[in-house]
Amino acid sequence: MATILSNQWLAKRRPYWDRLAVLLGEAGAGGVRRLSRAELRETALLYRQAASDLSTLRQDSTARAYAEHVNQLLARAHHIIYSSRRKGFLKIFYFLRDEYPAIVQRQIRYVLLALVLTLAGASLGSVLTLARPQFMRHLLGPAMVETIERHEMWTHSIVGIEPVASSAIMTNNLSVCFIAFAGGIIFGLGPVYSMFFNGLLLGVIGVACAQHGMSVDLWSFVAPHGSLELPSIVLAGGAGLRLAHGVLFPGLYRRRDSIALAGVEATRLVSGVIPLLIIAGTLEGFFSPSNAAVWLKFTVGGLLFTLLLVWLFRPLRPAAQSSVSLSSALGSAYRLALGARNVNQDLKYGPIWRNPQ
């Protein structure tokens, strides 16, 4: 039996279609940056509703004109979404320049928590090494401790095989960051362990080298690449903690939807560390173990760390902060609306009508 839509149903839906048309007109005329974050989210909710409405309209043969109108709205939205996507290196450039700093600033609480865990591990490692020298031997192993006692840097093995060493270092750093990130799915155990243990190891090595008069040798080696490598690991840990938050605290969402949304945000947060790790691995393989002057190594490290802070925490324009690419913004808002246990609490438009009344 054919479905006949009531005039009351059509009257309720028409204002939402008109509003979607207005938002799409603004995005089409002036670009996505003309829409605020709230308007992007509103567009996503209306887009989802219009798709549901179209399915209902097609069940009524007398509502073909309305169905065609809504279908055109969805086609316009689809065109704006995919035409706004930048391709290739240009897309990566704009992501790193505009979007990634905004992502880090939005997820800063997870990044700071990862930093606190790292500092806590470093503090404990320092105290335990000072209080119980045997702890250093158990953690670092006899071979490395003997190298330190001979006042030799264990990094000399890198010299002469720089390309191979650099590749191995990049692979290892990427693995560490991936474990810190992906381990968040295990109720946050991965990033918590990774951040704390890395800090613990850093604290033990720092105190051990200081006790044997090797602080300058150690930190002049660490400074050039560590200025990017260590923040990258902390950012990856923050991504893992964001994922863990979605697992442990779904809030209004179904747990699987909370994990999906957290996974998207965490993946975007961790993706920005890849170029940092490539640069850090290159420096660690070629420059850090070299015979360059100590002051030059510290200068390079300080300059890179300063540039990193400026890049990530510079004041962003409202447009850059509120508008990531339209496709990602609509996608995130769509998942947000889809995952809410009680969507009606989150919509100023009232309930989503799935059946004509």
Output the six-digit token pair for 50.
């219009």
Long-range contact pairs involving 318-321 (C-beta distance under 8 Å, separation at least 24): 318/36, 319/33, 320/33, 320/98, 320/99, 320/102, 321/37, 321/102, 321/105
| Phi, psi angle pair for 252, to nearest 5° | -80, -5
Residue 347: the pLDDT is 37
Residue 354: the pLDDT is 38
Q: In 3-state terms, what secondary structure has residue 104?
A: helix
Burial 312-335 (b: 16+ CB within 10 A, else e): beeeeeeebbbbbbbebbbbbbbb
CA distance 32 to 304: 33
Residue 74: the pLDDT is 84
Residue 74: how many CB atoms within 10 A of its CB?
Answer: 16
Residues paired with residue 253 on neighbouring β-strands, in sequence order: 340
Asked if residue 280 lies in contact with residue 171, where contact means CB atoms within 8 angstroms, the answer is no
Residue 331: the pLDDT is 52
DSSP for 188-209, written as a single string = THHHHHHHHHHHHHHHHHHHHH
Give me the average pLDDT of each 10-residue run along the chain (357 residues): 72 89 82 73 82 84 85 81 62 86 94 97 95 88 85 63 58 85 94 94 92 91 93 96 94 84 92 92 86 94 97 78 49 46 38 39
Residue 304: the pLDDT is 97
Output the six-digit token pair for 308.
């990193």
DSSP for 148-201, written as a single string = HHTT--GGGGGTT-HHHHHHHHHHHHHHHHHHHHHGGGTTTHHHHHHHHHHHHH
